[in-house]
């Protein structure tokens, strides 16, 4: 059985897709069969896929691109919502409803495809609602996936990161590791913030991504140590 992880973030736009794609690329460099999944994506546009117009999301396409296991787009991203807003609100505007059981069922089907490394990327932060009763965090719990947390390194990151870590632990999930992604090119006392997180987060840091205006998954993979996920 291969390793499977849920990619969570301390907020939206902290680099979950970049980290997920970088992990997939790093895995392929080590000869692993890799699979990236984006169950819920808000912010889609119509593109031609296999000869038909389909609502697709750039983050999901990125994971599909960096997966060595080939799946149809609908298997990678079963819920594609048009507006780049909170998923449950985007669904309401399309007269749709999101169901944890249904999303988890789609994912279980895709995850049955053999792989050595599978990453499932969430949407937004840890507690983004799916509906009035269920949250994105419930999906990680339903699938019993260890979590990799992407921490957006900027002012306020200590609070966001530690609250998220606390929530993950309280929900009985394993924190497999975390990644520090530098979002502020001139973050005050970066080293002190990083040291604080390293001492308080009970999981290994898989790497620190530098601040770059355009960091490719290939470049980001050079800063990550996926061996820590297998030790």
Q: Tell me which residues are annotated as active site.
A: 38
d(CA 184, CA 201): 21
Pairing outcome for strands 45-49 and 3-9? unpaired
Q: Cα-flanking dihedrals φ and ψ of residue 182, to 5°?
A: -75, 110
Residue with tokens 């149809």: 72
Alpha-helix residue ranges (DSSP H) falling in the chain: 16-29, 58-65, 73-76, 87-93, 100-111, 136-143, 157-170, 190-200, 217-221
Say whether 89 sits in a helix, a strand or coil: helix
- Sequence-separated (6 or more) residues with CB below 8 Å from residue 149: 8, 9, 10, 161, 164, 165, 168, 175, 177, 178, 179, 201, 203
Task: Tell me how crowded residue 217 is: count the other CB atoms within 10 A of its CB.
Answer: 21
| Number of H-type helices and E-type strands within the chain | 9, 10
191, 197 Cβ separation under 8 angstroms: no
Residue with tokens 């897709």: 17
């Amino acid at each position: 059985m291969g390793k499977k992880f849920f990619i969570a973030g301390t907020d939206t736009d902290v680099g979950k897709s970049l980290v997920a794609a970088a992990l997939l690329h790093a895995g392929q460099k080590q000869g692993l069969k890799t699979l990236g999944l984006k169950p819920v994506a808000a912010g889609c546009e119509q593109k031609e896929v296999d000869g038909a117009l389909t609502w697709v999301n750039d983050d999901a396409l990125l994971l599909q691109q960096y997966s060595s296991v080939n799946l149809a787009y609908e298997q990678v991203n079963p819920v594609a919502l048009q507006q780049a807003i909170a998923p449950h609100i985007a669904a309401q505007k399309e007269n749709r409803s999101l169901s944890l059981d249904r999303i988890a069922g789609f994912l279980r089907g895709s995850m049955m495809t053999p792989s050595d490394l599978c990453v499932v990327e969430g949407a937004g932060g840890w507690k983004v609602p799916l509906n009035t009763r269920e949250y994105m965090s419930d999906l990680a719990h339903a699938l019993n996936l260890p979590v990799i947390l992407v921490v957006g390194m900027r002012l306020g990151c200590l609070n966001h990161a530690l609250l998220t870590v606390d929530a993950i632990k309280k929900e009985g999930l394993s924190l497999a590791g975390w990644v520090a992604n530098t979002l502020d090119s001139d973050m005050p006392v970066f080293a002190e913030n990083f040291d604080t997180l390293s001492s308080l987060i009970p999981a290994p840091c898989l790497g620190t991504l530098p601040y770059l205006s355009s960091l490719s998954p290939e470049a980001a993979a050079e800063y990550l140590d996926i061996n820590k996920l297998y030790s």
